[in-house]
């Protein structure tokens, strides 16, 4: 049972705070049943009331600081999510969010980012569906890391850039930020890979890229 004041991850609603634990007597049903009153972290006036003993929705405590730092080190090894049937894309995104698993969220963010780059390359518009779920996954992940690391959401990507052991662990792969190319060697920045004007990835998203025929090719990203 969670305690009042704790932050938890609650299904597809993401990070929430346990604002209160209350007793509700329903006219028809069990008497004296305990309920959590949850306030979504990024919704000022949002409120969720759910039974303490409910098993319908996956919930968990937030990552600890050591767990958050370990996750950041794992990001390059996490594979992007695959969607075999395009008609089931939205359902696949929903299920990924419902897992309450940060690694699944990273996998989803990577997949959506690479899908965006592919559509731009082929002169296709980024879909509203992709953009909406990208922002949701980004918000869930950054909200949790922000609380676990005790830094603002706006500084999460900067923290990841500074604290990931990217170059050391990936040999031929080089770390590239949206606005600059950062590596042990000097490479040219590629506007084709990072379109800062699209608004799709408004924060400092980054990729591990591989040099191929004097061009930068996306390898994996967050």
- Structural domain contains residue 1: no
Q: pLDDT exceeding 70 applies to what percent of the chain?
A: 73
What sign has the CA pseudo-torsion 81, 94, 88, 130? negative
Claim to verify: residue 71 and residue 30 sit in the same structural domain: no
Claim to verify: residue 24 and residue 126 sit in the same structural domain: no
Among residues 134, 127, 116, 124, the alpha carbon closest in space to that of 194 is found at 116
- Structural domain contains residue 85: yes
- Structural domain contains residue 169: yes
Claim to verify: residue 55 and residue 84 sit in the same structural domain: no
Alpha-carbon span 108 to 129, nearest angstrom: 13
Claim to verify: residue 72 and residue 57 sit in the same structural domain: no
Among 21, 41, 61, the domain-final residue is 61
Claim to verify: residue 71 and residue 177 sit in the same structural domain: yes
HSE at residue 132, side-chain half, CA atoms within 13 A, is 7
Structurally, how many domains does the chain consist of?
A: 2
- Structural domain contains residue 2: no
129: pLDDT strictly greater than 80: yes
Q: Which residues contact 37 (CB under 8 A, 6 or more apart)?
A: 18, 19, 20, 21, 22, 47, 48, 49
Q: pLDDT exceeding 90 applies to what percent of the chain?
A: 54
Claim to verify: residue 32 and residue 141 sit in the same structural domain: no
- Structural domain contains residue 214: yes
- Structural domain contains residue 107: yes
Q: Which residues contact 158 (CB under 8 A, 6 or more apart)?
A: 204
Claim to verify: residue 213 and residue 123 sit in the same structural domain: yes
Q: What is the mean pLDDT of the chain?
A: 77
Claim to verify: residue 27 and residue 135 sit in the same structural domain: no
Among 42, 61, 80, the domain-final residue is 61
Among 45, 61, 77, the domain-final residue is 61
pLDDT tier for residue 165 given thresholds of 50, 70 and 90: low
Q: What is the mean pLDDT of residues 141-156?
A: 93
pLDDT digits (tens, 9 = 90+) for 57-105: 999 999 999 999 999 999 988 999 998 888 899 999 999 999 999 999 9
pLDDT tier for residue 187 given thresholds of 50, 70 and 90: very low
Looking up residue 167, the CATH number of its domain turns out to be: 1.20.58.1290
Claim to verify: residue 23 and residue 117 sit in the same structural domain: no
Q: Which residues contact 109 (CB under 8 A, 6 or more apart)?
A: 134, 137, 138, 141, 221, 222
Claim to verify: residue 145 and residue 184 sit in the same structural domain: yes
pLDDT digits (tens, 9 = 90+) for 13-45: 999 999 999 998 877 767 788 999 999 998 878
Q: Mind spelling out the 3-state secondary structure of the chain?
A: CCCCCCEEEEHHHCEEEEEEEEEECCCCCCCCEEEEEEEECCCCCCCEEEECCCCCCCEEECCCHHHHHHHHHHHHHCCCCCCCCHHHHHHHHHHHHHCCCHHHHHHHHHHHHHHHHHHHHCCCCCCHHHHHHHHHHHHHHHHHHHHHHCCCHHHHHHHHHHHCCHHHHHCCEEEEECCCECCCCCCCCCCCCCCCCCCCCCCCCEEEEEEECCEEEEEEEC
pTM of the model: 0.72
Q: What is the mean pLDDT of residues 123-146?
A: 94
For residue 28, the enclosing domain spans 7-61
Claim to verify: residue 144 and residue 193 sit in the same structural domain: yes
- Structural domain contains residue 44: yes
Claim to verify: residue 15 and residue 106 sit in the same structural domain: no
């Amino acid at each position: 049972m969670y305690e009042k004041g704790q932050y938890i991850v609650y299904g597809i609603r993401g990070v929430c705070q346990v604002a209160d634990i209350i007793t509700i007597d329903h006219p028809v049903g069990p008497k004296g049943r305990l309920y959590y009153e949850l306030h979504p972290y990024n919704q000022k006036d949002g409120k969720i009331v759910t039974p303490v003993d409910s098993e319908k929705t996956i919930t968990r405590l937030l990552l600890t600081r050591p767990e958050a730092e370990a996750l950041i080190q794992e990001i390059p090894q996490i594979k992007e999510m695959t969607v075999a049937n395009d008609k089931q894309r939205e359902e696949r995104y929903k299920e990924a969010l419902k897992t309450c698993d940060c690694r699944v969220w990273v996998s989803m963010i990577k997949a959506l980012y690479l899908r965006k780059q592919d559509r731009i390359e082929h002169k296709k518009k980024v879909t509203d569906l992709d953009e909406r779920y990208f922002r949701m996954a980004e918000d869930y992940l950054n909200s949790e890391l922000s609380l676990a690391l005790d830094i603002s959401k706006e500084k999460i990507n900067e923290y990841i850039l500074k604290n990931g052991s990217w170059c050391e662990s990936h040999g031929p792969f080089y770390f590239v930020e949206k606005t600059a190319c950062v590596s042990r060697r000097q490479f040219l920045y590629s506007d084709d890979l990072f379109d800062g004007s699209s608004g799709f990835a408004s924060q400092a998203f980054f990729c591990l890229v591989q040099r191929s025929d004097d061009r930068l090719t996306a390898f994996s990203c967050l």
